[in-house]
Amino acid sequence: MKECDIMSAQNDVERCEYIHAHDEIIAQVNQNMPDDEILYDLAELFKIFGDSTRIKILYVLFESEMCVCDIAQLLNMTQSAISHQLRALKQSKLVKYRREGKTVFYSLADDHVHTIINQGMEHLAE
């Protein structure tokens, strides 16, 4: 398969008879749609909020910074499970941590977490 065939194959989607969206709208979509890479990252970020264990961890951290073991006990889960999830939260920069001897204290990284979760809650409440 030649390169140009790959490109044209990409455009070989089923088409409906009438396109309802006007050219103006299509132009606006193309203009305002962020790059694929950014949209991918955005989805990855929301994926992090899409697990009840991580949501619970964030709720715990709303109250105070806390060490891994305390979080595990509060949520009645294993240290390993919590540690794995904290890693995900850390990689998304939703939590930060500081070490104090053997203990590692985690806390919320910034205020977007609050806003995002609150908006989610509001949406559910409707």
Partner DNA sequence: CTTTCATATGAATTATTGTTCATATATTAT
Partner DNA sequence: ATAATATATGAACAATAATTCATATGAAAG
Which secondary-structure segment (H or E) carries 38? Answer: helix 36-49
State how far the Cα of 3 lies from the Cα of 9, in Å rounded to an integer. Answer: 10
Nearer to DNA, 84 or 112 (CB): 84
Distance of alpha carbon 15 from alpha carbon 85, whole angstroms: 43
Q: How far is the CB of 44 from a copy of itself (least distance, A)?
A: 8
Q: How far is the CB of 82 from a copy of itself (least distance, A)?
A: 10
- Residues of this chain that interact with DNA (CB under 7 A) are 16-18, 44, 47, 50-51, 53-54, 67-69, 77-81, 83-88, 97, 99, 101-104
Task: Name which of 83 and 109 has its Cβ closer to DNA.
Answer: 83
For residue 95, count CB atoms less than 10 angstroms from its CB and return exposed for 0-12, middle for 13-18, buried for 19 or more. Answer: buried
**What letters, b where the CB count within 10 A reaches 16 and e where it falls short, cover 61-87?**
beeeebebebbbeebeeeeeebeebbe
| Contact set with a copy of itself (CB under 8 A) | 10-11, 13-16, 19-21, 25-26, 28-29, 32-34, 36, 38-52, 54-56, 59-60, 62-64, 66-67, 69-70, 72-74, 76-79, 93-94, 103, 105, 110, 112, 115-117, 119-124, 126
